[in-house]
């Protein structure tokens, strides 16, 4: 599925957040969205999933405007993984993931859906939590359950909002490897807002760097994740090394305001 975003602008009340955002996502591609806190990464993902309605611009899935689609049509195409929420309604992990099947079948589930859910629980290594209440598992486990729910949706595009922020390093790599493998093998694509520049570098085919709601730079991880961009956008001096053909960022020190140097 192809995602195309053209001149998107979004404001909360009168505060402009996203300005003239344009991007394209091809099938089998992972697009990483990086940028400092408040840059607009979550807002952009919420606009794509139509949780928020941009005041201007268009968001097209295979040429069709998302704003003209029903919630169900959107859910068949876009699998949104929010940042782990605090409490949600009480439901078991199994039922939470099964809810991902809803866009495909109405309210009743059949054997095939149950099999799909079990397969995904196994894939993400969370089968042992299947009967636990979602609210009573750890933040990291919840994050995996939300990824599992989006995978159960079998949507063409995954929208991942900081999918690894609550995971320890082993689970970060496991979750990202699963997503990357699915993208490569099934032709789905993923847009992922990610804090961790090194995870973004390692798993993204392309990177968009947002700053104050505008695209500051876009391109391959090596072209975008350079010391000058990191300095300008994050206000941090960093050394960029290379690891397995990808940039590896070592943040050194924050830049003092007004050019003050120690």
Residue 42 binds ligand ADP (CB under 6 A) = yes
CB of 213 to ligand ADP, least distance (A): 7
Q: How far is the CB of 200 from ligand ADP (least distance, A)?
A: 13
Please state, in angstroms and as integers, the Cα–Cα distance from residue 212 to each residue in 5, 140, 194, following that order. Answer: 18, 29, 16
Report the alpha-carbon distance of residue 13 to residue 171 in Å, rounded: 38
Closer of 52 and 91 to ligand ADP (Cβ): 52
Could you tell me which residues are beta bridge partners of residue 30?
Answer: 190
CB of 176 to ligand ADP, least distance (A): 19
CA within 13 Å, CB half, 163 = 34
Q: Which span sits near ligand ADP by CB under 6 A: 37-45, 60-68, 98-106, 127-135?
A: 37-45
41 touches ligand ADP (CB under 6 A):
yes
Asked if residues 200 and 215 have their Cβ atoms less than 8 Å apart, the reply is no
What is the spatial distance between Cα 144 and Cα 156, in angstroms, rounded to a whole number? 19
40 is a site residue for ligand ADP (CB under 6 A)? yes
Size of the site for ligand ADP (CB under 6 A): 11
Query: Quick one: which segment of 38-46, 137-145, 165-173, 232-240 binds ligand ADP (CB under 6 A)?
Result: 38-46
Figure out which of the listed residues 14, 37, 110, 258 binds ligand ADP, where binding follows CB under 6 A: 37
Cα distance between residue 100 and residue 117, in whole Å: 9
- Residue 161 structure tokens: 């909002």
CA gyration radius, the chain: 19
Query: In terms of CB distance, is 18 or 97 closer to ligand ADP?
Result: 18
Whether 193 and 162 have beta carbons less than 8 Å apart is answered as yes
Q: Which of 5, 34, 39, 209 binds ligand ADP (CB under 6 A)?
A: 39
Question: Sheet of 56-61: strands edge to edge?
Answer: 15-25, 3-12, 56-61, 64-65
Under the binding rule (CB under 6 A), the answer on residue 54 touching ligand ADP is no
Residue 161 near residue 42, CB atoms below 8 Å:
yes
Tell me if 159 contacts ligand ADP by CB under 6 A: no
Task: Please report, as residue ranges, which positions from 201 to 220 form the binding site for ligand ADP (by CB under 6 A).
Answer: none
Span 13-32, contacts to ligand ADP by CB under 6 A: 17
Residues that bind ligand ADP (CB under 6 A): 12, 17, 35, 37-43, 193
């Amino acid at each position: 599925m192809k995602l195309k975003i053209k001149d998107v602008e979004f404001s909360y009340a009168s505060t402009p957040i996203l300005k003239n955002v344009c991007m394209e996502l091809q099938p089998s591609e992972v697009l990483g969205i990086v940028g400092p806190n408040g840059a607009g990464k979550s807002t952009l993902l919420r606009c794509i999933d139509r949780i928020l309605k941009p005041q201007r611009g268009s968001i097209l899935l295979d040429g069709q405007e998302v704003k003209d689609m029903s919630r169900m049509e959107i859910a068949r195409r876009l699998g949104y993984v929010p940042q782990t929420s605090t409490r949600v309604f009480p439901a078991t992990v199994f039922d939470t993931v099964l809810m991902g099947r809803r866009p495909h079948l109405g309210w009743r589930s059949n054997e095939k859906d149950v099999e799909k859910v079990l397969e995904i629980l196994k894939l993400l290594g969370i089968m042992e939590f299947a009967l636990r209440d979602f609210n009573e598992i750890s933040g990291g486990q919840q994050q995996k359950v939300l990824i599992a729910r989006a995978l159960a949706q079998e949507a063409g595009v995954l929208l991942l909002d900081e999918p690894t922020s609550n995971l320890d390093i082993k689970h970060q790599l496991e979750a990202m490897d699963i997503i990357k493998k699915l993208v490569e093998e099934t032709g789905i694509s993923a847009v992922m807002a990610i804090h961790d520049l090194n995870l973004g570098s390692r798993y993204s085919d392309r990177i968009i760097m947002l700053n104050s709601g505008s695209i500051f730079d876009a391109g391959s991880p090596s072209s975008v994740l350079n010391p000058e961009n990191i300095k300008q956008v994050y206000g941090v001096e960093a050394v960029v090394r290379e690891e397995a053909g990808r940039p590896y960022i070592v943040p050194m020190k924050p830049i003092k305001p007004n050019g003050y140097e120690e």
